[in-house]
C-alpha cells in the first residue's frame, strides 16, 4: 500500500484545530516570537475516533492551549505525549497535560523542566492499531532533539530541526553545527513526503527545503571563514556585522550564537583557533591552514 499523502495545509491559525491528514491534527499555541514564528505547533496523531492519540510537543505551559489540546484529543484518548526536545516553547506543557490525561511521557531524556517516563533513543517506535511513529535522533539544534517519523504517511515531525519561515538557531555548547549538518543530511536521505515543523505551516517540498538549509549553512560558513581571514583576529561581535549583512541588526545578539557554532566547527576543521572556545566573547584567529586555503 502506498502511503497516504498529507492534504494541502491551511495557514497557521493559533487556537484552531486543523486537520492536516487522515491521522494528523494541529493546534498552534498563541506564543508568537522571533524564535517561534506564529507560535508552537502541537500535533495530535491518531484518527479523531481513535482510542489512542499521541500528542507531540504540548508547547509552553499555557493553560488555554493545554485545555484546547485536551478537548481536541479528547483527554480520555490521549495515552502518549512525545516531545522533540526540552526547550521552553516545547516541553513545559507536558506536565499539565499529563495531569489531565495520565498519558505516558516520551522524550530523549529528562532535562530542563521535563520528566520522561520513557527515554527514547534513535529508532524507538510508538506503535498502535492505526499508526507507527518512529524516533529519529537529530542532534544539532539541541543534543536531545528527536524528529518523529509517521511511517503511515511518510510525514516527518521536525521540531526545531527544520522550521517554516523562521531561522533555526544553533547555540553552543548544547547546539552543534557539525552535528546539525549531519542530521540534515540524514533526514534528506530518508523518504519524507512532507515536514510538519514545530513552527510554521506544513512543508510539502522536504528535499528542496533540506537541501536549501544545507546550502545556506555551507554558504554562511564560507562567509565566516572569509571574514575571519580578512580580519586575522576578531571577536564574534565584530564578525557578526561582516557575516549577517542580510539580517536586521536587532537580530545580531541571536545571530552571534550561530556564528559561534560556525567558528567551533571551523576550529574542529583546523581553520580557526581560540584559547577560550567555551566563551562567546573570546578572541578568534585564522589558522595557517585557513590562510593557505583563502589564497
Ligand atoms: Zn521551538
Q: What is the pLDDT of residue 182?
A: 98
How close is the Cα of 159 to the center of ligand 1, in Å?
7
Are 125 and 169 contained in the same domain?
yes
Assigned domain for 4 exists: no
Q: What is the pLDDT of residue 2?
A: 41
How close is the Cα of 279 to the center of ligand 1, in Å?
24
Assigned domain for 248 exists: yes
pLDDT at position 241 over 70:
yes
CATH number, domain with residue 226: 1.10.10.10
The pLDDT tens digits for 172-201 are 999 999 999 999 999 999 999 999 999 999
How close is the Cα of 135 to the center of ligand 1, in Å?
18
How close is the Cα of 131 to the center of ligand 1, in Å?
25
Q: What is the pLDDT of residue 133?
A: 97
How close is the Cα of 70 to the center of ligand 1, in Å?
21
How close is the Cα of 2 to the center of ligand 1, in Å?
32
Assigned domain for 9 exists: no
Q: How many CB atoms lie within 10 A of CB 279?
A: 11
Are 64 and 130 contained in the same domain?
yes
How close is the Cα of 293 to the center of ligand 1, in Å?
37
How close is the Cα of 85 to the center of ligand 1, in Å?
9
Query: Based on the structure, what is the number of domains in the chain?
Result: 2
The pLDDT tens digits for 201-229 are 999 999 999 999 999 999 999 999 999 99
Predicted model pTM: 0.93
User: Domain boundary residue among 140, 174, 204?
Assistant: 204
CB 179 within 8 A of CB 214: no
Residue 95, domain extent: 17-204
Are 231 and 286 contained in the same domain?
yes
Query: Percent of the chain having pLDDT more than 90?
Result: 87
Are 177 and 224 contained in the same domain?
no
Are 194 and 258 contained in the same domain?
no
Are 84 and 222 contained in the same domain?
no
Are 27 and 143 contained in the same domain?
yes
User: Domain boundary residue among 169, 204, 239?
Assistant: 204
Amino acid at each position: 500500500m502506498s502511503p497516504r499523502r498529507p492534504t494541502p495545509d491551511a495557514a497557521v491559525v493559533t487556537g484552531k484545530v486543523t486537520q492536516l491528514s487522515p491521522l494528523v491534527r494541529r493546534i498552534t499555541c498563541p506564543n508568537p516570537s522571533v524564535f517561534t514564528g506564529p507560535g508552537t505547533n502541537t500535533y495530535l496523531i491518531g484518527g479523531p475516533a481513535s482510542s489512542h492519540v499521541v500528542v507531540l510537543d504540548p508547547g509552553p505551559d499555557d493553560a488555554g492551549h493545554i485545555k484546547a489540546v485536551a478537548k481536541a484529543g479528547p483527554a480520555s484518548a490521549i495515552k502518549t505525549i512525545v516531545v522533540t526536545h526540552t526547550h521552553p516553547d516545547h516541553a513545559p506543557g507536558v506536565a499539565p497535560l499529563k495531569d489531565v490525561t495520565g498519558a505516558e511521557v516520551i522524550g530523549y531524556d529528562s532535562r530542563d523542566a521535563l520528566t520522561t517516563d520513557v527515554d527514547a533513543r534513535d529508532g524507538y517506535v510508538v506503535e498502535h492499531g492505526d499508526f507507527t511513529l518512529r524516533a529519529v535522533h537529530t542532534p544539532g539544534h539541541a543534543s536531545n532533539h528527536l524528529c518523529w517519523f509517521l511511517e503511515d504517511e511518510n510525514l516527518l515531525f521536525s521540531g526545531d530541526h527544520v522550521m517554516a519561515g523562521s531561522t533555526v538557531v544553533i547555540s553552543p555548547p548544547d547546539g552543534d553545527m557539525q552535528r546539525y549538518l549531519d542530521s540534515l543530511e540524514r533526514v534528506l536521505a530518508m523518504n519524507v513526503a512532507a515536514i510538519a515543523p514545530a513552527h510554521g505551516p506544513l512543508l510539502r517540498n522536504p528535499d528542496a527545503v533540506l537541501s536549501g538549509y544545507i546550502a545556506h549553512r555551507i554558504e554562511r560558513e564560507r562567509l565566516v571563514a572569509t571574514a575571519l581571514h580578512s580580519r586575522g583576529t576578531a571577536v564574534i561581535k565584530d564578525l557578526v556585522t561582516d557575516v549577517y549583512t542580510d539580517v536586521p541588526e536587532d537580530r545580531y545578539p541571536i545571530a552571534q550564537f550561530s556564528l559561534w557554532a560556525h567558528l567551533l566547527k571551523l576550529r574542529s576543521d583546523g581553520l580557526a583557533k581560540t584559547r577560550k572556545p567555551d566563551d562567546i566573547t573570546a578572541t578568534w584567529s585564522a589558522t595557517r591552514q585557513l590562510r593557505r586555503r583563502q589564497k
